Amino acid sequence: MTSNHLIGLLLGTEEDWPTAFEALMHRLGGISSARGRHAFETDRITIEPFDLKAVPRYSMVIDRLSHWYYVPREWLKKAALMNDVYMLNNPFTFQSMEKHSAYCAMIRLGLKVPETWMLPNKTPPENPRFPYTAQRYNKPFDLGKIASRVGYPLYMKPFDGGAWVGVTRVADENELHVRYDQSGERLMHIQAAIENFDVFARSLSIGAETLVTSYDSQKPLHDRYQIRHDFLSPALGREVTAISRLVNAFFRWEFNSCEMIIKDGEVSPIDYANACPDVSMISLHYYFPWAIKTLAKWCIYCAVTGRRMHIDSDTSTYFEIASRNDIGYDDKLVLYARLAREYFQVDDYRDFCDKHLSNIDEVMVEYVESVDFDRLLVKTVKSAFPAHEHDKFVTHYRGRLSAWARDQSAG
Ligand SMILES: Nc1ncnc2c1ncn2[C@@H]1O[C@H](COP(=O)(O)OP(=O)(O)O)[C@@H](O)[C@H]1O
Ligand SMILES: [Mg+2]
C-alpha cells in the first residue's frame, strides 16, 4: 500500500530554495519503510477564503509567509488545531519569535545573554487614555544612567527585530539620545556590545540537525557565511550546538537560526528568534545544498513516522533544571541538551536516515551538478545582482556549489 504525503509550501517572494526543494523531492521519488511505500508531492499553497471546517490536503506545511501575512497565519492555526497538519514552524510559537521573549526565557535558563534592558517607547501609543495613564504611572527615567549601567558601546535594537532593521551600535551618551529619539514608536532594547570577539557563530537548525558556521555579519549578504571547518574547539562546538537545539526544543521551532558571539571561551547568544530563517542560495552559497537536503530529510522523517507537532510547550521541565542550585552552567546545558535530543528524536531520526535515505547525499550531488540546478543558479544570481555583476557572480556561485559537491564526493 502507498501512503501519499503532500507537502505544502507557503511562500512569499522566494524562488530559489523552493525550486531546489521541489526538484530534490522529485528526484528522490518515494521511499519504502516497514509501514509500506511512501510517495511525496509538493505544492505551493494559494491564499483564498476558507471554510473553518474544510479539511486541508496537506500532511505538512513549510511556512515562510505567515510571520508577516495574517491570512495564511490564521489558516495555519486552524490547520494545526483542527487537522493535525505538521508545520515548520508551529504558528502558536510566534509570540516568542520576538527577541524579547526569547531573551527572557534563555536568561532564565542561565544562558550568557549580554546585559539587556527594555526602554519604554519614545513616542507613546496614540490613545486618548495615554496622557492620564502616563501622568499617573509612567515613571520618569534617566536614559543616560541606564545606559551607563549597561556600558558602552551598546546596541540599541527593536525588541521584536529581524534583518538588521533599526539596529544601531551606540558609542556614547550623545549618540544614545539621538538613536532613542529616532526610535519613535518602536519598542527598543539596549544591550551590552561584545566586541573584539574570537568568533561570531551562526547556526542553522532544521529538525534534528544543526549546521554551525562562522559568520561575518559586517560583510555584504552574499559573503557572510564563511567556509571554515573546525573553527571551534570540540567543546565549544558542542556548546553552540546544544544552545541552538535548546532554543528550538524550548520554543518548538524546527527551522531556525541562532547567532552567538564567542569571546574568551564564553558563548553569548544574541539573536536566536529567527523562526523563518534565511535559506537563500545567495546567502548560504556553499551551505545551500545542506539546507535543502536536510529540509527534505526532516520532512520525510516526520511524514513517514507520523511525528506529531506539539502545539504546547513544556517550559516547566526546563525551568526545573534552571532552578537547581547543585549544578552549574555546564551541567545544566548537558541536561537541556538531553531534553532537546529527546524532543527532536535525534537517535531515531539518524537510524531512519541511515535506513531509508542513505542515497540522499548522492541524489543531492547529482542535482547540484545538473543542468537544471545551473539554470536555477543563473536565474537566482540574475535576480539578486545588477547586470554588470552577473558574470562575476555566476562564476563565483558555480565555484562555491561545485566545491560543495566535490567535498561530498571526497567524503
Ligand atoms: N550585543 C551585541 N554585541 C555585538 N554585536 C551585536 C550585538 N547585538 C547585535 N549585534 C550586531 O548587530 C547585528 C544585528 O543584531 P541582531 O540582534 O542580530 O538583530 P537582527 O535580528 O536584526 O538580525 C548582529 O548580527 C551583530 O553584528
Ligand atoms: Mg541577527
Burial class (CB in 10 A: 0-12, 13-18, 19+), 335: middle
From CA 284, how far away is CA 265, in angstroms rounded?
Answer: 26
Q: Ligand 2 centre from 191 Cα, in Å?
A: 13
Residue 318 and residue 339 in contact, taking contact as beta carbons nearer than 8 Å: yes
Q: Is 164 in the pocket of ligand 1 (CB under 6 A)?
A: yes
What pTM value is reported for the model? 0.94
pLDDT of residue 96: 61
Element holding 47 (H helix, E strand): none
pLDDT of residue 34: 76
What domains sit in the chain, N to C, each tagged with a CATH number?
2-96 (3.40.50), 98-112+196-275+308-344 (3.30.470.20), 115-192 (3.30.1490.20)
**Which ligand sits nearest to residue 197's alpha carbon?**
1
Q: What is the SS3 assignment for 141?
A: coil
Query: What contacts 317, CB < 8 A, 6 or more positions away?
Result: 339
Profile the chain (411 residues) by mean pLDDT over runs of 10 residues.
95 96 96 88 96 95 93 94 93 80 95 97 92 92 97 96 89 97 95 97 98 95 93 96 97 96 97 93 98 98 93 91 97 98 97 96 97 98 98 98 94 69
Nearest CA to ligand 1 atom 13: 164
Shortest CA distance to 112 belongs to which of 221, 245, 232, 266? 266
Q: How far is CA 228 from CA 25, 212, 215, 216, 408, in A?
A: 29, 10, 10, 12, 15
pLDDT of residue 313: 84
pLDDT of residue 108: 96
**Which ligand sits nearest to residue 165's alpha carbon?**
1
Q: Ligand 1 centre from 270 Cα, in Å?
A: 7
pLDDT of residue 1: 84
CA 331-94-150 angle, 5° bins: 60
pLDDT of residue 86: 96
Residue 313 and residue 252 in contact, taking contact as beta carbons nearer than 8 Å: yes
Write the DSSP symbol of residue 306: T
Q: Is the dihedral of CA 224, 229, 235, 241 positive or negative?
A: positive
Q: Ligand 2 centre from 25 Cα, in Å?
A: 30
